[in-house]
Amino acid sequence: MKNVEYHQIVESVRQACITAAFELPADVHDALKRARQAETHPRAQWILDQLLENARLAAADRIAMCQDTGLAVVFVDLGVDVRIAPPQNRSEATITDAINEGIAAGYEQGYLRKSVVAEPLGRRPNTTTNTPAIIHYEIVPGDRLRISLMAKGGGCENKSQFHMFNPTASEDDIKNWIVEVVKAA
C-alpha cells in the first residue's frame, strides 16, 4: 500500500493550475512551430506568430495565456493500492477535497479568473474558488497516482445565434427561426 499525503495533492494541483494557464505544453508549442513553418498563407502565418508570441510572453511574464482561464477538468488514475492520507484535523478529507483545495489555491495565487457558478439556473452566484472541478476517475492496478489537469474555457461550448428581425416579423417568423436554430445545433 502506498500512502500519498493530502497536502502533496493540494500542492501538485495548485501548481498544475498555474502551469496550465501560463505555459503551453511542449508538444503543443512544437506543433504550433511546425504549423507555422509549413504554413504558406500570410494571414495564417500571422495568426500562428501571434499564438507563439502570446505563449512566450505568458511564460516569461507569468501571466495567463488567455483571460478565460477556464473550468478545471481533472483526470485521475488512482491505483487500487494507493491510500490518501488526510490531514490530522480533517480525517474525512478525500482526494476530491484535495483536488478542489489545490484548484482554489492555484486560481487564487495565480490571479486566474474564477468563473464557476454554484447554481447555473437561478441567481448564478460565483463560487469565488473556481470549484468544484470536473473530475474523471479511473481506478487502475497498482500503487500509481497520476493527476492531469486541463483548464477548459467556456467559449468552446457557447452555442448561440443572433438574428435581427424586422419590426414587421410575425410571431410565427420568430418561432420558426428558433426551431431552425435548435435543429441546426
Report in angstroms the alpha-carbon separations of 2 from 77, 97, 143, 148: 14, 19, 6, 19
- Asked if residue 154 has pLDDT above 90, the reply is no
Is-contact 64 58, C-beta < 8 A?
yes
pLDDT value of residue 70: 84
Can you tell me the distance from the alpha carbon of 8 to that of 14, in angstroms, rounded to the nearest whole number?
Answer: 10
Write the pLDDT tens digit of every residue in 55-65: 999 999 999 99
What mean pLDDT value characterizes the chain?
Answer: 93
How large a percentage of the chain has pLDDT more than 70? 97
pLDDT value of residue 156: 64
Q: pTM for this structure?
A: 0.80
pLDDT value of residue 137: 98
